[in-house]
Amino acid sequence: MTADVEEGRTARKRRQILDAARAVFLRNGYVGASMDEVAALAAVSKQTVYKHFTDKEQLFTDVITATAGEFDDLTRAIAATLDAADDPAKDLGRLARTFLGALLRPDVLRLRRLIIAEADRFPDVGRTWYEEGFQSVLDTLASCFARLAGRGLLRLDDPRLAAEHFMGMLLWIPVNRLMFCGGGSYAEAELDRLAEAAVAAFLRAYG
C-alpha cells in the first residue's frame, strides 16, 4: 500500500496474489474459494499462483499469517494511551473506543469468521491467531493495568484477570451480534454508549 513500487516483479506478483486470495477467501470461505477466481482477481495466471504457493492450503495459511501482523498497531495503541494516563475514567474510555473501532470493522469481523470457520481444518492457524493476536493484546493490557495499579489509579490483585473482564464487558455483546448478524453495524453513538458503560462498570469493580 505504501511506496513498495520497487520490490521486483516476483515480489509484486506474490503480493497481488496474496491480496486477491485474501479477498476471495473472505468473501467465499476456504472451500468456496476457487483458485481460478484468485488468479483472475490477481490478474495473474494460475501457473504463477502455483509457482508461489504449492497448495490451496498453503496459500490460505500464508494469507492469514500475512494479515496477522496488524495486531501490533493495536497493542501499541494500548500502551500509548494508558501509560500516559492520569484520569483513568477518561483514558479507559478512549481506549475502549479504540478497541471497538478497530475490532468491529467489517473486514476484521470477516477475517475472524473465516478463522473460526476453519479452526478445525487449520488448527495451527487458529491457535496462532489466538496466541499472537488475542493473548498478546491481553498481555499488553494487563501490564498497563499493573502499572496503573502501581500508581494507585486502579485497585486490583490480578491484572490479567482485570484485563480479561474489561475486554469481556466491552466486546462480548457487539462482537457476538456482528458475528451472527452478518451485515450489521453500529452507529457511533451506540459505540460511545457501549464504551462508557463498560468503563463505568469496570471502574466500580476495579477502581
Partner DNA sequence: CGCCAGTACTGTACCGTCCAGTTCCGATCG
Partner DNA sequence: CGATCGGAACTGGACGGTACAGTACTGGCG
- CA distance linking residue 116 with residue 74, whole number of Å: 21
- CA distance linking residue 112 with residue 97, whole number of Å: 19
Q: Which does 92 bind (CB under 5 to 8 A by kind): a copy of itself, DNA, none?
A: none
- Which residues between 159 and 188 bind a copy of itself (CB under 8 A)? 161-162, 164-165, 167-173, 176-177, 179-183
Let me know: does 13 contact 44? Beta carbons within 8 Å: yes
Q: Which does 101 bind (CB under 5 to 8 A by kind): a copy of itself, DNA, none?
A: none
Closest by Cα among 104, 106, 109, 111 to 26: 111
Is position 89 an interface residue for a copy of itself (rule: CB under 8 A)? Answer: no
Nearer to a copy of itself, 17 or 125 (CB): 125
Closest by Cα among 23, 58, 61, 28 to 39: 23
Choice from 15, 29, 50, 119 touching DNA (CB under 7 A): 50
Is position 31 an interface residue for a copy of itself (rule: CB under 8 A)? Answer: yes
Choice from 15, 19, 29, 108 touching a copy of itself (CB under 8 A): 29
Choice from 15, 19, 29, 35 touching DNA (CB under 7 A): 35
Closest by Cα among 84, 93, 81 to 207: 93
Is position 32 an interface residue for a copy of itself (rule: CB under 8 A)? Answer: yes
Let me know: does 64 contact 53? Beta carbons within 8 Å: no
Q: How far is CA 191 from CA 55, 65, 114, 174, in A?
A: 41, 29, 24, 9
Nearer to DNA, 32 or 182 (CB): 32
Q: Tell me the window of 6-14, 50-58, 63-71, 120-128 that interacts with a copy of itself (CB under 8 A).
A: 120-128
Measure CA 138 to chain center: 12
Closest by Cα among 69, 58, 62 to 15: 62
- CA distance linking residue 71 with residue 137, whole number of Å: 8
Q: Which does 56 bind (CB under 5 to 8 A by kind): a copy of itself, DNA, none?
A: DNA
Mask for 84-123, x = binds DNA (CB under 7 A): ----------------------------------------
**Considering just the CA atoms, what is the radius of gyration of the chain in Å?**
20
Instruction: Tell me which residues touch a copy of itself (CB under 8 A).
Output: 29, 31-32, 110, 113, 115-117, 119-120, 123, 126-127, 129-130, 134, 158, 161-162, 164-165, 167-173, 176-177, 179-183, 197-198, 201-202, 204-206
Instruction: Tell me which residues touch DNA (CB under 7 A).
Output: 8-10, 13, 32-37, 43-48, 50-52, 55-57
